[in-house]
Structure 1
Amino acid sequence: MLKEILLRLAVYPAAFFLLTLVVLWSVIRPPKITARQSPEDYHLPSEDVTLVTQDGLKLSGWFIPKEGTQDSVKRAIIIIHGYPVEKGDMLGIAAQLHPDFDLLLFDLRYFGKSEGIYTTLGIKERLDLYSALDFLQLRGYQHIGVFGFSLGGAVALLTAAEDHRIDAVAGYAVFSDVKTLGEETYSRFWIFKKPLVGSMLIWARLLFGESPAVVSPVNAAKKVHVPVFLIHTRQDEQISITHGERLMDALGHNDKSEFYFPDQGLHGETPVDFYQRVNHFFQD
C-alpha cells in the first residue's frame, strides 16, 4: 500500500510537468491568423524584402517608402504585429503613418511568411528587430522609431533597452511580463495556475535559452531612456490595464515617456484619436 502511494506521488507530478510542456507547445505554436491584406489594398507603394536574423532565419517584410521628396535626415518607423497575426494586420496604422514616414513591416519568426519553428514570446524576437534595424541602417536611416502592438510592443521595449539605434518606441496593449500574463490567462485553474505557469517557464528557459520571466518588458522598461508612448485601454479583456500601469511605473525614471489609457476599447480596438496621437508622437 505504502509503495503504491509513493509511486503515485512520484508519477502524478511528473505527468503534470510533462503536461505543461504540451500546454507551452500550444502557446508557442498557435494557429496562425492570416490578414490576407497587402499594401496594394491601401494604395501603398511597397517593396518585398527579406531580413536575415543573426540565428539564420529569413523573415518576410515590406518596405514602404513615403512618396515625394526625401527629407535631408532619413527617418523611418518599424511596425511590428501582435500574437498570433502577421504584418498585414498592421497595414491600417501603416496607411496613417505613410504620408510622413518611410515604413518597414515584417513578420516575426514563425508568423506569417517568416521562417521559424515557434515563437519565443519576445526572447529571440529581439534578433528579428535587430535585423530590421540592420536593414534600415544599411539604407542610410539615421532616425528610427518602432511601433508595436501587443507582442510587437514587448519586442520593441526589450530591444530598445539594448540597441541604441532605436530613437523612439510606441506600443499598444503591451504586456508587462509573460509570467503575470500567463497566470491571468490560466486563472480558471485556481490553485494550479502558479505551478502550471511556473513549469511552463522552466520549459521555456530550456527551449529559448533565457527565461521570459527575467527577459521581460517591465524589466527592460527600467533601462529605456528614449521617448516612449504607451497606449492601453482599460477595457482590454486579453491584456489587462494592470500591465500598462506596471510599465508606467517601470518607466517612472524616463521623463520622455507618455501614456494614454482610455476607458473604452477592447483588445485591438483603436480609440478615436489613436492614429493622431501616434503620428504626433513620432513627429516630435
Structure 2
Amino acid sequence: MVKIGRIRENLPADIVMKGLGKQYPGTATAAVEGVDVTVAAGEVLCIVGASGCGKSTVLRMVAGFEEVTSGTLSVATEPVSGPGPDRGVVFQDYGLFPWLTVAENIAYGPRQARLQRPVVAERTEQALEAVGLTRVSGSFPHQLSGGMQQRVAIARVLANKPSVLLMDEPFGALDALTRVEMQHELQRIQRAAGITVLFVTHSIEEAVYLGDRVMVMAGGTAHGMPGHVREIVDVDLPPDRDASSPEFNAIERHVDGLVHAGHAVRS
C-alpha cells in the first residue's frame, strides 16, 4: 500500500483573502479586485472563468510570486510576503530539469533547503512512493510519458512537505485519458495527505469533479473591468463522483452559466 500520509509534516493550512486585489503599474484597471474568500484547511477550491479574468493572478499572489496591492492575504494566519516552502506550486509546464533523473528532480528542493542527506533521501523516497514512480526513479524526464512527468512535478512539490498545493492548469496539456488518470491521482494524494489545494482550470467538468467548491471569476482588463468573483458554488456531491449523474450535470450547468454570463455586467 502506498503510504502517502508519511509525506505530511506541516498541517494543512487555510488561505484567507480579504478585499484581495492586484494592479500592475501603468494600468488603469486592476487585474483583480475585491476577492473575499477563505479556503479551509484541507479543502479543494477550484477556480474557473474566462481567459484574462485573474484566475492565475490570484494563485500567483497566494504563491507569493505577485505582490498584493490591495486587501490582505494570509496562509495559516501568516501574511504572504513572498514564496515559501509551505506553498508548493505545480504548473502546466512540468518544469523538470532534463539533465537530472526523476529522483534527482524530486530531491532538488530538499537539497536547496540544505537538509541533511538522510532526510533528503527519505523525503525523495516518500514522494516517489506517493505518486507511484519508485520503479522509474533512475529514469530521465524525456523517457517518461506526459502523465508520468506531471507526477514527478507533483512529487517534487510533495518532497518539500507543503501545507498548501497550488495548481495552475496542471493537466491542461495532457490527452483526455491521461487527464482523467491524473485527476484520480490528485484525489488520492489529496485525501490521504489532507493537503489544502487551490486549483485553476479552464475545464468546468474538472472543477466540479475535483472541487469542494468552485470559485467562478469574471471580468478582466480585456473587458474594461477588474477580475472579480462572480459566485462561489458549493459542490454538494460525494467524494467519489459520477460525472454522468443528474446531480453532477446540474452543478456543471450552473457553473457553465456563470462563466458564460455577460462579462461586462458585474454581479
TM class, shorter-length: under 0.3
Q: What TM-score, normalized to structure 2?
A: 0.28
Structure with bigger strand share is 2
Q: Please tell me whether Structure 1 or Structure 2 has the larger radius of gyration of its CA atoms.
A: 1
Tell me which of the two structures has the higher relative contact order, counting C-alpha pairs closer than 8 angstroms and 6 or more residues apart: 2
Q: What TM-score, normalized to structure 1?
A: 0.27
